[in-house]
Chain A
Amino acid sequence: GAVVSQHPSWVICKSGTSVKIECRSLDFQATTMFWYRQFPKQSLMLMATSNEGSKATYEQGVEKDKFLINHASLTLSTLTVTSAHPEDSSFYICSASLGLGDEQFFGPGTRLTVL
């Protein structure tokens, strides 16, 4: 159990375009989902916390107008990178948890390359 999927697994786009990444909890309802970004050889960086039916909470320094998060149901959260630029190229990973303080289950990640 506790499977989280992400789609797409990789995407290449042109600078200035927008990219949507989906995160789904397949066998459980996730009250909270999280979005991370990880650059090569660096630690996970939490971008935002997403709760179903409410606005996402963004970490300091993360532009909420650039990284749009929608958590429409207990099994789906989406991250849209708007007007992507080469510096947005990274490994984006979502996770889901059953509740506050519970372990997080990570999706397989989406590798974004912006040309």
Chain B
Amino acid sequence: QKEVEQNSGPLSVPEGAIASLNCTYSDRGSQSFFWYRQYSGKSPELIMSIYSNGDKEDGRFTAQLNKASQYVSLLIRDSQPSDSATYLCAVPYNQGGKLIFGQGTELSVKP
């Protein structure tokens, strides 16, 4: 059974701090990794994709991938109250193109 694990939180950080969200996955053969943000009552929104070991930066977001440790993380710099949401880590399942989602980490950024 392929699994994706996240700390459910809630994770609370003060405004302006760095929020660190972590995800581990069980399938060593996974090649693609995605981070989605879901605001309460809304659908998920893709914020980062990462395919290679190392860091990928996009604005205030940095995704970090370590395939040897089967670990992918998302850093949010200069956290803002508008970043308060649930963050979902997702890994493709080999068959049929499905995504396996983690249970999501709820982030709360306090002003």
Q: Which residues of A contact B (CB under 8 A)?
A: 2, 32, 34, 43-44, 46, 49, 57, 91, 93, 97, 99-109
> A93 to B97, Cβ gap below 8 A?
no
Q: Which residues of A contact B90 (CB under 8 A)?
A: 104
User: Bound complex: CA of A46 vs CA of B31, how far in Å?
Assistant: 21
Residue in chain A with minimal CB distance to B31: A101
User: Bound complex: CA of A102 vs CA of B96, how far in Å?
Assistant: 11
> B101 to A44, Cβ gap below 8 A?
yes
> B97 to A43, Cβ gap below 8 A?
no
B46 within 8 A of A: yes
Q: Which residues of B contact A99 (CB under 8 A)?
A: 97
CB distance from B42 to the nearest CB of A (A): 7
Q: Which of A104, A107, A108, A109 contacts B99 (CB 8 A)?
A: A104
Q: Which residues of B contact A102 (CB under 8 A)?
A: 32, 92, 97
B98 within 8 A of A: yes
CB distance from A110 to the nearest CB of B (A): 10
Q: Sample 24 A-B pairs with CB under 8 A, ordered by A number.
A: A2-B46, A32-B97, A34-B99, A43-B103, A43-B104, A44-B44, A44-B101, A49-B98, A57-B96, A91-B41, A93-B43, A100-B92, A100-B96, A100-B97, A101-B31, A102-B97, A104-B34, A104-B46, A106-B36, A106-B46, A107-B43, A108-B43, A109-B42, A109-B43
